[in-house]
Structure 1
Amino acid sequence: MTCKEAEKLIPLFLDDDLDNKDLAEFIEHIDNCPECKEELTIQFLVKTGMQRLEDGNTFNLKQELLILIKDAKKRLKFRRNLFLFSILLELAVVVLMVTVTVLAFTL
């Protein structure tokens, strides 16, 4: 992923609106590109900080951004595991259907 592509995805990331593929590529890029991570930090500070100031809440935006990235990594891992589970479940259904078909013809 290029920096330009990553920067376009920042608003979608902040809104938790990236699919698994884009999220994985975005996180990998952000983890390895200090410039894009800085841009993410700036956009996060502007978006979240302004809202917090309007609400009058106290906040630690740096920590919140780290938590947001960590949570995104957890969600991505969960989505990948769920996808793998669905494949295994489909495979189990196919095996069960083949077994039932074989048993039906042998009886």
Structure 2
Amino acid sequence: MVEFVMTCKDADKAIARFLDDDLDNRELADFLNHIETCPVCKEELTIQFLVKVGMQRLEDGNTFNLKAELDMLLRDARKKLLGRRYLVLTSYILELLVLALAAATVVLAITIG
């Protein structure tokens, strides 16, 4: 299987979707991996996060720590990705169990009949 490596151009396009929580599992994993290793894209994420979240906080008059909030957003995204992967794995295991049960039922029916 060929592994996709996200480019800076791809990451830049994905930032807005990341901030809107609109990336699928593969995109989210690729994005997080790229952001962790590319300081230029991490800086662009920080800028876009500041514009999107920081400006709203200023308008609302709220105090905030954008660096801490962005770090928390990235940590939460990693946790969410792990949770999604766990659910996908669980669904595959359940599907295999159902198939095994169906096969066992057929074998039992043939044996009895």
Provide the TM-score with structure 1 as the length reference: 0.98
- 1:70 alignment partner, one of 61, 75, 98: 75
5 Å matches for 1:8-19?
8-19=13-24
Which segments of 5 or more consecutive residues in structure 2 lack a partner in the other structure? 1-5
CA RMSD after TM alignment: 0.5
The alpha-carbon deviation at position 93 of structure 1 amounts to 0.1
Residues 13-65 of structure 1 show CA distances to partners (whole Å, capped at 9, x for unaligned) of: 00000000000000000000000000000000110001111111111110000
Counterparts of 2:109 and 2:65, CA distance in 1:
65
Match for residue 87 of structure 1?
Answer: 92
Match for residue 11 of structure 2?
Answer: 6
Which segments of 5 or more consecutive residues in structure 1 lack a partner in the other structure? none
Counterparts of 2:106 and 2:60, CA distance in 1:
63
Letter in 2 for 1:49: G
* Number of residue pairs matched by the alignment: 107
Letter in 2 for 1:72: A
5 Å matches for 1:87-106?
87-106=92-111
Match for residue 33 of structure 2?
Answer: 28
Counterparts of 1:47 and 1:32, CA distance in 2:
23
- 2:57 alignment partner, one of 52, 56, 59: 52
The alpha-carbon deviation at position 80 of structure 1 amounts to 0.6
The percentage of counterpart residues that share the same residue type is: 64
Provide the TM-score with structure 2 as the length reference: 0.93
SS at match of 1:16: coil
